[in-house]
Chains A and B, each alone.
Chain A
């Protein structure tokens, strides 16, 4: 595709529900990142893939968070047993600049946990 596409754009979940957020990166791009952005804060790193390999998951806040990219293209971020503190915008990005390494972000998925 022409850009990074994320779905759903908005998700409301009851506390304790599981959610799955999808990221469709730019076709053929190797690197994929997930960031979490709480209201009024900067994006915080969650995890990084190179193709299907998850090379860094040190930013995942708990074992309730799980990310996968089984075929090296579409990625899913899953949050189990959601808590109110999980409410945030979840941003997916790929790295477009092979030299400069800049991130190209999707529109994000806004998760609200009630």
Chain B
């Protein structure tokens, strides 16, 4: 079945450093979504990417969708302590109906 892999599993940074998490799918995706889950919380939607090679920005966050629509990345510039949490990508295939397949997540900790 479809697999979505994320790396790294954990990332510790000093406040002000940049952070990147990578997501790879074993199959071509129709779209990919990113979610953030704070410790003890539930996943919260950040963004959706649909087009091949698409790049979207939200303030310090930059999201990319690969040309082959099988990989994606999230880059945070100048991390802040409020960025702490686990970031998940979630992919959807054309043939998977409404089902989203989540990656294992990247847990980000930021040292002040």
Task: Using CB atoms and an 8 Å cutoff, list the residues of chain A in contact with chain B.
Answer: 31, 33, 35, 41-45, 48, 55-56, 58-59, 91, 95, 97, 100-108
Contacts and interface: CB of A to CB of B under 8 A. Distances in A.
B37 to A, nearest CB: 9
Interface residues of B, number: 23
Interface in B62-112: 88, 90, 92, 97-105
A56 B42 contact: no
Contacts of B31: 101
Interface centre among B6, B92, B105 (most CB of A within 10 A): B105
Given A91-B43, A102-B45, A56 B97 contact: yes
A42 B41 CA distance: 13
A43 B102 contact: yes
A105 B98 contact: no
Nearest to B98: A48
Interface centre among B31, B41, B45 (most CB of A within 10 A): B45
A103 B104 contact: no
B102 A42 contact: yes
10 contacts: A33-B98, A41-B104, A44-B102, A45-B101, A48-B97, A55-B97, A56-B97, A100-B48, A101-B92, A108-B42
Given A43-B88, A108-B42, A102 B99 contact: no
A102 B42 contact: no
Nearest to B9: A40
A59 B1 CA distance: 12
Given A91-B42, A105-B43, A108-B42, A45 B99 contact: yes
Contacts of A55: 97-98
B28 to A, nearest CB: 17
A19 B88 CA distance: 28
